Chain A
Amino acid sequence: NAGVMQNPRHLVRRRGQEARLRCSPMKGHSHVYWYRQLPEEGLKFMVYLQKENIIDESGMPKERFSAEFPKEGPSILRIQQVVRGDSAAYFCASSPETARSPLHFGNGTRLTVT
């Protein structure tokens, strides 16, 4: 059973471009969480999704950021018109329905904005 797959691992964008980060959850997992992490720092919650629904986007900036988890295909975190401050590691995690299960994390996408 493959783990959580994130791609690309590294993404370089110039200021003003768009960044698309993809996350394929583990098979059978219907919950997806996105987190942002700066070097040597903790995880900052961004958004929590279930299939076709955004459950909690309280951690995501209102402008330029959006997320989706369609019925078919990976979850996408989209950052429009990137700025240098968006440079960070973005992690996706998935889990099955129950709160008794741990989250399973991908290895992240490291976004660098030049």
Chain B
Amino acid sequence: AQSVAQPEDQVNVAEGNPLTVKCTYSVSGNPYLFWYVQYPNRGLQFLLKYITGDNLVKGSYGFEAEFNKSQTSFHLKKPSALVSDSALYFCAVRETGSGGYQKVTFGTGTKLQVIP
């Protein structure tokens, strides 16, 4: 069974500092990994994904994520945090099961607070 863990409920970082939001996963096959961001009163927005290839993937708004197969991790990073990055971040894994069933599992979310 697939699972996703986001070990931190909240991450606080000062504006201008680098940020990391952690995610680890467990799947039976090759993982398709995703990060989403949610602003208040909105739906989730796709940030970036890892399918195959380079372990460092770049996404929207200056975010990037590093895929580490040995540690089964997919941490979200940004070199310099902005106050406007404050939001709820979700990691997700998706895989195809029998009969084309597209199972999607989300982590519990991490609230990022960027302090001015």
Contact = CB atoms under 8 A, between A and B. Distances in A.
Contacts of A6: 43
B43 A105 contact: yes
B102 interface: yes
Interface size class of A (residues with CB under 8 A): 20 to 34
Interface string A34-78: 000000111101001000000110000000000000000000000
A105 B106 contact: no
Interface of B: 32, 34, 36, 41-46, 49, 51, 90, 92, 94-96, 100-104, 106-109, 111
Contact of A91 (B43, B46, B103): B43
Contacts of A103: 34, 36, 44, 46, 92, 104
A43 B90 contact: yes
Contacts of A4: 43
Which one of B94, B95, B108 has the highest number of Cβ atoms from chain A below 10 Å of its Cβ?
B94
Contacts of A56: 101, 103
B43 A42 contact: no
Given A100-B51, A103-B46, A105-B43, A42 B108 contact: yes
Contact of A99 (B41, B44, B45, B94): B94
Contact of B43 (A40, A55, A106): A106
Contacts of B107: 42
A104 B44 CA distance: 8
Interface in A1-29: 4, 6
A43 B102 contact: no
A85 interface: no
27 contacts: A4-B43, A33-B104, A42-B90, A42-B106, A42-B107, A42-B109, A43-B109, A45-B104, A48-B102, A55-B101, A56-B101, A91-B43, A97-B100, A97-B102, A99-B94, A100-B49, A100-B51, A102-B46, A103-B92, A103-B104, A105-B45, A106-B43, A107-B41, A108-B41, A108-B42, A108-B43, A110-B41
